[in-house]
Amino acid sequence: MIYLKTVYADNAATTPLCAEAFEAMKQSMLEDYANASSLHTPGQIAAAKVLEARREIAELIGANADEIYFTSGGTESDNWAITSAALRGEKQGKKHIISTAFEHHAVLHTLKDLERRGFDVTYLDVHSDGYVRPDELEKAIRADTCLVTVMYANNEIGTIQPIDEIGRICKEKKVCFHTDAVQAVGHLPINVKAQNIDMLSFSSHKFHGPKGIGALYCRKGIILANFMQGGAQEHGKRPGTVNTPAILGTAAALKKSCADMEKNARYVSDLRDRLIDSILTTIPRSRLNGGRSERLPGNASFCFEGIEGESLLLHLDLKGICGSSGSACTSGSLDPSHVLLALGLPHEIAHGSLRLTLSEYNTAEDVDRIISVLPQIVAMLRDMSPVWERIMKEENSDAVQ
C-alpha cells in the first residue's frame, strides 16, 4: 500500500493543536501544578498566569477579564448562557425565546428542554442561502422575549450571520443577545462591546487550542445561574479546580489565531474558493450549501445528487482525506442534517452532503488531492446508485421532449 499523507479537511469538527498552545501547556503542566486557588506562592503564581491569560483572551474579543468564565467548551457555554437567560426571563414573566432552526444541538436541545418547561421558542427562517434576515428577527421580538440566541457562523455550511445588525436590534429592544461563536472566534474579528453581544460561547479546540476547554463571555451586569455548586472559582459561578494549562493553551492559541487572522483568512479562503470552483464545475448535479458571500474562510459544504454521504466520506477516508457529512448515517439518526433541511433541501439531496473544512495548515497540494480524488468517487458511487439511474433517465426523457 502506498503511504499517503492524511489530508485533514475536517477543521470545523476540531483543529490540530498549534505549537504555541502546545509549548504553553507543556510548560504549564510541568511547572504550574499548584492549585490556582491556593494561597501559597506556587498557587499564586499559577493564579497570576491564569489572570494574565484571562486578560489576553478578553481583550482579543473586546471584553473585560471579569466577563470571561472558563467552561468545558462550547456545549457547556451554550447550555449555561441560554438556561441562565431563560431563568432570568421566567422571573420577570418573560418566557419567549428567539433562535434559528439551524443552531448547533447544544443550543437546539437546550431550547427543546425549555419548551418542555413551558417556554415558547420562535425559530427564525434561515432561507435557502443560510442567513437570518434582521427584519424578520425584529418582527419576531415580543414584549415577553427574554433572549435572542443566533449562532455567529454555522458549523455545517459556514454562513456568517448578520451579528452586528442583530446586536443593534437587541440593544434597541432591550433583549438579551447570546451568540454561539464556536466557529467564529479566532477566525473572524469579534468585538463583543461594539457588536452589542451580551453573551458569547466559544471553544478552544476550534482555533488550534486544547480540547475540553472553552469559555462563556457574559456582559457585566448579567447574572449567571449556577449549574454546579462548589468552590469560589469563576466568581463562584463555575466551581471546580482551575485548569491552568488548558487556560494558558487557550490564550496562546487565540493570540496566534488573532495575530494571523487576516493573513489566514486570505490564504484559506483562496484554497476554499479553488476547491469550490473546481468541484462545482467538474461534478455535475453538485451544489454548494449556503451563500457564498458571507462565509467562513475554510468552509466548503456540498451536496451531490444520487449518492449518500457516508459512503462518500468512507471512500475519501480510504484515500487519506478526512471530511464530514450531514447524512443520516453519519449522524446516527435516520434523518439527514437539520441544517440542510432548514435550508429547504429535500431529504434525498441532503443525504448526499459532504463538508470539507480547511485551515491554514492545509496546502495547495491538499486541495489538489481532493480535486483529483473526489470526482472519481462520486462517479463510482453514482454508477452503482439506482437513484442516479432514475435521475439520468428523467434527464434523458426531458432532453427528448
Partner 1 sequence: MLYSEKVMDHFRNPRNIGKMDDADAVGEVGNARCGDIMKMYLKIEDGIIKDVKFNTFGCASAIATSSIATEMIKGQKIEDALKLTNKAVVEALDGLPPAKIHCSVLAEEAVKAALADYYKKQGLPVDPSIFGCVDCESCGGCGV
End-to-end CA, the chain? 49
Binding mask 294-313 for partner 1 (x = CB under 8 A): ------------xxxxxx--
Does residue 328 belong to the site contacting partner 1 (CB under 8 A)?
yes
Cell of 114: 425549555
Does 323 bind partner 1 (CB under 8 A)? Our answer is: no
* Residue 194 near residue 3 (C-beta atoms within 8 A): no
Angle at 131 between CA 128 and CA 137, to 5 degrees: 115
Task: Note the Cα 116 to chain centre separation in Å.
Answer: 26
Indicate whether 394 belongs to the interface with partner 1 (CB under 8 A).
Answer: no
Are the beta carbons of 316 and 374 closer than 8 angstroms?
yes
Q: Which stretch binds partner 1 (CB under 8 A): 32-40, 78-86, 125-133, 385-393?
A: 385-393
Closest to 205 measured CA to CA, from 228, 182, 237: 182
CB of 280 to partner 1, least distance (A): 22
- Cα separation of 77 and 152, whole Å? 14
Interface size with partner 1, residues (CB under 8 A): 24
For partner 1, give the closer residue by CB, 107 or 328.
328
Going by C-alpha positions, the residue among 247, 254, 215 that lies closest to residue 67 is: 215
Does 26 contact partner 1 by CB under 8 A?
no
Minimum CB separation of residue 159 from partner 1 in Å reads 24
Q: Is 13 in the site for partner 1 (CB under 8 A)?
A: no
Residue selected from 334, 397, 398, 399 as contacting partner 1 according to rule CB under 8 A? 334
18 annotated active-site: no
Angle between helical axes of 74-91 and 105-116 (0-180°, round to 10): 30
Site string for partner 1, 344-373 (x = CB under 8 A): --xxx--x----------------------
Considering only residues 292, 314, 372, 395, which one is a binding residue for partner 1 as defined by CB under 8 A?
314
Q: Is residue 386 at the binding interface for partner 1, with CB under 8 A as the rule? A: yes
Q: 143 or 334: whose CB is closer to partner 1?
A: 334
Rounded Cα distance between 225 and 215, Å, is 15
Do 130 and 343 touch, CB atoms closer than 8 A? yes
In 3D, which of 39, 36, 25, 81 has the Cα closest to residue 233? Answer: 36
Which of 384, 393, 394, 395: binder of partner 1 (CB under 8 A)?
A: 384
Query: Could you list the active site residues?
Result: 329
Residue numbers of the site for partner 1 (CB under 8 A)?
A: 306-311, 314, 318, 327-329, 332, 334, 336, 346-348, 351, 384-389
